[in-house]
Amino acid sequence: MAIIQFIDVYKSYQSGATSVTALQGVNLSFEAGDFVTIMGPSGGGKTTLLNLLAGLDLPDQGQILLQDRKVSDLSDHDLTLLRRKEIGFVFQFFNLMPTLTIQENVELPLLLAHSSKTQGSRVQTLLEYVGLWNRAQSFPAELSGGEMQRVAIARALVHQPVILLADEPTGNLDSENGQKIIELMQRAASDFKTTVILVTHNPQIAACGNKHFEIRDGKLTPISS
Amino acid sequence: MSFLYYFKDLFIALILRPLIRDPFRTTITIFGVAVGVAVFLSIRLANQQTMMSFTESVDLVLGRADAVIRVEGIDFDETHFKKLHSLRKEIKAYPVIEGYGVESTSGEVVEIIGTDLLQDSGIRDFSLKTKEKGLKGLLPLIMDPAGVILPEIFIPEVPFNIGSTLQFLINGKEKTLNVNAILEDEGIAKALNGNFALMDIAAAQKVFDKIGRLDRIDIQFLHPSKFDVMQKKISALLPEHLLVERPQRKNQQVEKMLRAFQYNLTALSFVALLVALYLIYNMIALSVVRRRVEIGTLRALGATPTLIAFIFFLEAGIIGAAGSILGIGLGYYFAQFSLDAVSLTVNNLYAPSYVTEVDFQWQQMGPYFLLGVGLSFVSALIPAWDAATTAPTKVMRRGSYDLKLFRGSRHLNFSAVLVFLLAGICTQLPPIKQFPYFGFFSVFLIILGLSMLSPAALLWTRDRSHNFFKNILGGEGLLACMNLSQNVGRNALAVSSLAIAFMMVISMSIMVHSFRQTVIVWIDQTLKADLFVRVAGGRDIDYQHTLPSEPIKKLKEIFGIADIDQFRAMDISYNNLPVVLATGDFSVLSQYGNLVIKTGPPASELAQHVVNNNRAIVSEAFSLKHKVNVGDTINLKTPNGPANIEITAIYFDYSRERGYIILDRTTFLKYFNESQINSFVIYLSDKSRLDEVRKEVLKILNEHRLIIRSNTQLKKQVLEVFDKTFAITYSLEIIAILVAVLGLFNTLVSLILERKREIGILRFMGAFIHQVKRMVLIEAGILGLIGSAMGLMAGVVVSFILIFVINKQSFGWTIQIHFPYFFIALLVAFSWGVSILAGLYPARLAQQLNPKEAVRVE
């Protein structure tokens, strides 16, 4: 069963007086457990695609289906619940809360969902999984870039999402650390049966995963592996 | 010139345009500064103009006098005037009668001066309009025993012309006076805001029942002479109790009298200004944070740190200038309210104040503008320094996220402790020239210590309560709590300004409540008489209105009266400080009345010590100001020679801060030949006869207009006067709290703007909009609670300083401390509630943030 489906999706934005087409007739379908990479230059539509996948935006034309539900039929409340329960995010600049400890950062999605008491043990599990349980009481400022991104991955997985969206997760890391992060994400995708959609500039990163796409000028083109 | 163009472009792009683009916060900051400047300005103006109204009037009335001869508090025999004849080649002497009357239509008090009208133009400036020109016009002025001259601008509600008659209440009797001339609006006519009248001296002596007496002789030196030399020559001709003084002395006395009150008010008004300046710091600090990337770019392009700092100084200067200009405008409206409030207090407690309208001179507002701008520059020092020392590489990295957390500063905490200790030491130091400089300094140190401890308070709250917030309020509660340690500088400032304003409210509330309770207990213990009677006209503390004591003796025959105590008082000076010398009948006091004695025998035994003896009791304020105790001797200059009076007891008194010396009537009459009294109190043997006795008194003394109050009525009036006195302090407190809440509001808005990305991430993680709003409101609540708690603790400490140091050293009163617990609890709840309300708009801003825009890096 397809986890995500884009059917002939169009999206444009107003930039001053000009209308910019971000996505043109995008069609895609991802299965559960896919590790998808999407490569493209700046302004190609990668971020727009991720925003649509996350339910933060709606298409101008076409349909987006998440587990057979039409995203455009969902209310803002439902979309928020969707992000809370089924989607995880990893950002280029980690975006950890500087005032919370590592443990609290990972726990945060559960706290927002008021499910910390029932699922709190997952925090330790995930921190051990990413190899940082011994740093649980540290603050983000005390960690290296690679460590922070590992924490971000743990945070993104704590609520057992169906989909993991990663926006240039290695963009702020050196190649060695970047490679380690990709390996971690691949392992997580396999261990937790999570569909990973990763956007990147980097062709080497783009070569990872089982499905590859290129996005340029709003058009998504599959690339054979 | 090219530099100016370069700078101008930078200034417009980096400072002016952002100010215009953020109109809401810019307006709030400017408004906060404006309120602070307006409050400070209006209080200063009210104080200055109240003082000026006294000094200008005194100067106008004294004219070109080089010296003044008088006896303090009472009139003297006019035969002394003739003794000055031997110095006629060196001086010219002008005899004066001065008194007060109440104009019957308006009820306004009018100062009436009687002088030798034919000669007086030699020393005073005035111009007369008479019915006929020349001597024919002047004759009625001298010949009419009821003739009066009124200034052109007299009491507005009282129409008159030459030939009119007006009714005045003088010493309790209605007198009809004939307007024989008008003083043109120049010179002496401008004195006392028109509440002034001139008479020929003979007529004045008759009207005031002072035949053969004078109140004052004004002296003009005919040749340039040294005052001390002339003083010696003149004093040699006169008995010791007649004082030869400089004319400015009266102004100096008034200044001393009002000084403590005015300084206290100025200090209070300064708090509002201080809190407003925190707003500027906040605004500039946020501006620096938001402009970090631009600052880094500029530095990379070659801008010097000085230039960067200068730009932010200018931003503060613009806000300060705009705020000061608006503040001066607002001050114009506040000034009338402040003047009315200050005049009310001065009138009730010190001396008649005739200034009714603010004389607002726009051209004199320059110093207030400079003060506002100058203090704004000072507020911008730290953020401008921060901007100048920002490392360009650190901030130019796109998407860099400031992960730095404040971990606490031991140095700051230790310094705060030292500051508090120093404050404690200052409270033990004595006043300087009767003024509690160290007391005020200790309050300033407490404010400083509070500000220094705010970061620690934030961290302490975070560490102690974050589990509570996490478990009870979930993710939003945890974030709100943990965010206390982010942007500590600005959070600490918001908390400090709230704490300082709240401290002021709490300390003043405790002080006023304690004072009020002390006064209530005191009047319950002291005001024992059943009826209190005085001459109508003026206030209770105007001792110029008198009535003869002879008829009072008849009243003792009225059925139901146990006894009567007669009271006379006069304003004198002792050791160059104003004092009240008073007299009463201690035999009656000891049997029926009461005084709360601090040191010495109880009131019931005072008669045996004081009657027919050279002994007196003094009030606590007098004993502290003059450092005298029971057993010490005070020396008074009296018409019947010097009097060495031993102090028998010290008693508590809260009616006047200048202090009392009270002699028994037998001693007073021995030295002063003054049988007139100001008031008397009646003790009833049969309290059911209160109304009948009142009627009988009025019947027997029907020649005089009297004010008769029962015990209950007088107590109520005393408390009403007390409550009105503090009206202006309540207003200042409310304003300070409002400005502090503005500061909190501004801080929260700036925190939202800075944490856009964080809020965006929360929405990515599945936080509902209402959770984002809750986070902001919880944060506002926590900041408000910390500020209120710190303000409460500091307020209790400062209340002790106000009561036991500042009040004691300024006014000499012992006040028993009483805490208005319920009121304090209400205030805390109010302060906390208002803080949460301050979070509503910032919470709405947070809700409206678009998560995708907030998180976007490219």
3-state secondary structure of B540: coil
Q: Read off the DSSP letter of residue B14.
A: I
Q: Tell me the CA end-to-end span of chain B in Å, nearest whole number.
A: 38
- Can you give the pLDDT at residue B401? 43
Average pLDDT, chain B: 86
- Higher pLDDT: B14 or B108? It is B108
Q: What is the ipTM of this complex?
A: 0.87
Residue of B nearest to A157 (CA): B765
Q: Read off the DSSP letter of residue B71.
A: B
Position B351 pLDDT exceeds 90: no
Give the C-alpha distances (Å, rounded to integers) separating B557 from A109, A212, B561, B589: 93, 120, 7, 19
Segment B392-451, tens digit of pLDDT: 766 665 444 444 556 677 888 999 999 999 999 999 999 988 788 999 999 999 999 998
Cβ contact (<8 Å) for B765 and A89?
A: yes
- Can you give the pLDDT at residue B344? 77
Cβ contact (<8 Å) for B399 and A112?
A: no
Q: Does B137 touch chain A (CB under 8 A)?
A: no
C-alpha span between B611 and B603 (Å, rounded): 13
Which two three-digit tokens encode residue B821?
Answer: 């617990």
- Can you give the pLDDT at residue B2? 64
C-alpha span between A78 and B336 (Å, rounded): 59
Spatial CA neighbour of B610 closest among B646, B655, B562, B634: B646
Residue of A nearest to B766 (CA): A84
Please calculate the CA angle B184-B190-B196 and round it to the nearest 5 degrees.
90
Which two three-digit tokens encode residue B495?
Answer: 């908390």
Backbone dihedral angles phi then psi of residue A223, each to the nearest 5 degrees: -120, 135
E strand or H helix at B511 = helix B488-526
Q: Does B857 touch chain A (CB under 8 A)?
A: yes
Residue of B nearest to A108 (CA): B475
Backbone dihedral angles phi then psi of residue A22, each to the nearest 5 degrees: -90, -40
E strand or H helix at B789 = helix B769-801
Mean pLDDT over B155-164 rounds to 86
Q: What pairs with residue A164 in β-bridges?
A: A88, A196
Q: Does B394 touch chain A (CB under 8 A)?
A: no
C-alpha span between B636 and B634 (Å, rounded): 7
Q: Does A10 touch chain B (CB under 8 A)?
A: no
Only one residue has tokens 């309300």, namely: B837
Mean pLDDT over B343-351 rounds to 74
3-state secondary structure of B283: helix
Burial class (CB in 10 A: 0-12, 13-18, 19+), B226: exposed
Position B600 pLDDT exceeds 60: yes
Q: How many residues does chain B have?
A: 858
E strand or H helix at B178 = strand B173-183
Least confident span in B88-92, B398-402, B726-730: B398-402
Only one residue has tokens 């400083």, namely: B448
Contact between residue A95 and residue B855 where contact means Cβ atoms under 8 Å apart: yes
Residue of A nearest to B487 (CA): A99
CA B822 to chain centroid: 27
Backbone dihedral angles phi then psi of residue B358, each to the nearest 5 degrees: -75, 135
Which two three-digit tokens encode residue A185?
Answer: 């994400």
Q: Read off the DSSP letter of residue B362.
A: G
Mean pLDDT over B671-695 rounds to 90
- Higher pLDDT: B576 or B822? It is B822
Residues of chain A with pLDDT under 70: 1, 116-119, 225
Position B93 pLDDT exceeds 80: yes
C-alpha span between B490 and B496 (Å, rounded): 10
- Can you give the pLDDT at residue B397? 57
Give the C-alpha distances (Å, rounded to integers) separating B267 from B43, B155, B806: 10, 35, 12
| B844 residue type, one letter | R
Segment B635-677, tens digit of pLDDT: 998 888 889 999 999 999 988 778 899 999 999 999 988 888 9
Q: Does A35 touch chain B (CB under 8 A)?
A: no
Q: Does B200 touch chain A (CB under 8 A)?
A: no
- Higher pLDDT: B416 or B485? It is B416
C-alpha span between B784 and B230 (Å, rounded): 66
Q: Read off the DSSP letter of residue B803.
A: I
Q: What pairs with residue B642 in β-bridges?
A: B637
Up-side HSE of residue B404: CA atoms within 13 Å toward CB?
A: 9
- Can you give the pLDDT at residue B400? 44
Percentage of residues in chain B with pLDDT exceeding 90? 37
Burial class (CB in 10 A: 0-12, 13-18, 19+), A138: middle
Q: What pairs with residue B571 in β-bridges?
A: B580
Spatial CA neighbour of B778 closest among B473, B455, B498: B473
- Can you give the pLDDT at residue B736? 78
Segment B220-248, tens digit of pLDDT: 999 888 899 999 999 999 988 899 998 87
